[in-house]
Chains A and B, each alone.
Chain A
């Protein structure tokens, strides 16, 4: 029994060799948020619980990889009144789809500190390719990642039925990630 586990762990560690490009998220200083609009005003939100496995090396883009999992019910838009509706069927359907994930498929350099991660975002059970532009600054064992992209919430069915219209809640949502990383 124990041998099987040890062998399994050894095999697993071989399959995913620890790389110099693996980064740990400093959750206390990192933020995964978004900016939405409601009836002509803007509001900012964030997710309090999410995990990110990041392997990134500007010199080795082919082996770089992002995998981010977000717990939908950790959403916080600064208004409990609003937050109570968001896990509903009409919005994120959090009971049925408790997490959203982003998995990168490829990376490209855009000059300077700028890169783009191509990948797939799964949100409310819908998987679509998205591109995530980000800037990357690393010094020593520390790195800062700033990513921003705009999503159309209705591409993922967030806001069903009458709420798919932009009358009350805008369709465009700007997703902003500010991560502090260390090795």
Chain B
């Protein structure tokens, strides 16, 4: 079991964080969409709470992931990758990290400006970072939504690029983010 990254593959920790965060992001998108349209009922409030708890957890995971990455450089792209692809990949990844931080933070801002209590997973109370502020709440909501659309766009690009590497270019850019299969070469 290779925990740390190598020049050939992502290590187990980086993979675990990548896929946990991927799962949480898709859950967040689904939850966020469902909770908005749910009729006013206790369930609606519970869906919001779930979205907020998962959001705070996600933020924590992203911070851990970035810290881990500091000591674990990413495996380099295949040697023949054109420089525009390198730049695009670099920018996409940087922007994804930025969004994975900015989305939970803007969500926290909405909650704070609404002045709703936030008890993460029903256990950890978090203080609100602003006072009640309707204008700020609306601004943070608009920001949260805009960041979501940007994230959705970048995720499409990210997934499409991974599949392109796997099926069209037939390199191991996608495979090295998957658990190693025992191969006889």
Assembled-state Cα–Cα distance A97/B132 (Å):
28
* Binary contact readout B32-76 vs A (1 if CB under 8 angstroms, 0 otherwise): 000000001111011001000000000000000000000000000
Contact indicator A42/B117 (Cβ below 8 Å) = yes
Across the interface, B117 reaches (CB within 8 A) one of A40, A80, A163, A165, namely A40
B115 to chain A minimum Cβ distance, whole angstroms, is 4
Whether A82 contacts B125 in the complex (CB less than 8 A), given A39-B49, A163-B42, A167-B46, comes out as no
Contact indicator B117/A43 (Cβ below 8 Å) = yes
Contact indicator B116/A81 (Cβ below 8 Å) = yes
Whether A168 contacts B46 in the complex (CB less than 8 A), given A81-B116, A82-B116, comes out as yes
Which residues in chain A, 127-183, are within 8 Å of chain B measured between CB atoms?
A: 162-163, 165, 167-168
Residues in A neighbouring B46, C-beta threshold 8 A: 39, 167-168
Contact indicator B132/A41 (Cβ below 8 Å) = no
B82 at the binding interface (Cβ < 8 Å): no
| Identity of the chain A residue whose Cβ is nearest the Cβ of B116 in the assembled complex | A79
Contact indicator A78/B132 (Cβ below 8 Å) = yes
Contact indicator A38/B40 (Cβ below 8 Å) = no
Contact indicator B119/A162 (Cβ below 8 Å) = no
With an 8 Å Cβ cutoff, the count of chain B residues facing the other chain is 18
Residues in B neighbouring A79, C-beta threshold 8 A: 114-116, 132
Assembled-state Cα–Cα distance A39/B43 (Å):
12
Whether A81 contacts B45 in the complex (CB less than 8 A), given A40-B119, A40-B122, comes out as no
B44 to chain A minimum Cβ distance, whole angstroms, is 9
Residues in B neighbouring A168, C-beta threshold 8 A: 42, 45-46
Assembled-state Cα–Cα distance A68/B68 (Å):
62
B154 at the binding interface (Cβ < 8 Å): no
* Binary contact readout B111-132 vs A (1 if CB under 8 angstroms, 0 otherwise): 0001111110010010000001
Contact indicator B42/A38 (Cβ below 8 Å) = no
Assembled-state Cα–Cα distance A78/B119 (Å):
18
B134 at the binding interface (Cβ < 8 Å): yes
Contact indicator A80/B49 (Cβ below 8 Å) = no
Assembled-state Cα–Cα distance A40/B49 (Å):
10
Contact indicator A41/B125 (Cβ below 8 Å) = yes
Residues in B neighbouring A85, C-beta threshold 8 A: 40
B127 to chain A minimum Cβ distance, whole angstroms, is 10
A168 to chain B minimum Cβ distance, whole angstroms, is 4
Q: Which of A78, A81, A85 has the largest count of B CB atoms less than 10 A from its CB?
A: A81
A165 to chain B minimum Cβ distance, whole angstroms, is 6
Assembled-state Cα–Cα distance A132/B133 (Å):
35
Which residues in chain A, 82-97, are within 8 Å of chain B measured between CB atoms?
A: 82, 85
Q: Which of B42, B114, B137 has the largest count of A CB atoms less than 10 A from its CB?
A: B42
Contact indicator B45/A39 (Cβ below 8 Å) = yes
B169 to chain A minimum Cβ distance, whole angstroms, is 49
Assembled-state Cα–Cα distance A40/B119 (Å):
6
Residues in A neighbouring B125, C-beta threshold 8 A: 40-41
Further contacts, 15 of them, CB under 8 A, given A79-B116, A80-B134, A81-B114 = A38-B116, A39-B117, A39-B119, A40-B117, A42-B117, A43-B117, A78-B132, A81-B115, A81-B137, A82-B116, A85-B40, A162-B43, A167-B42, A167-B45, A167-B46
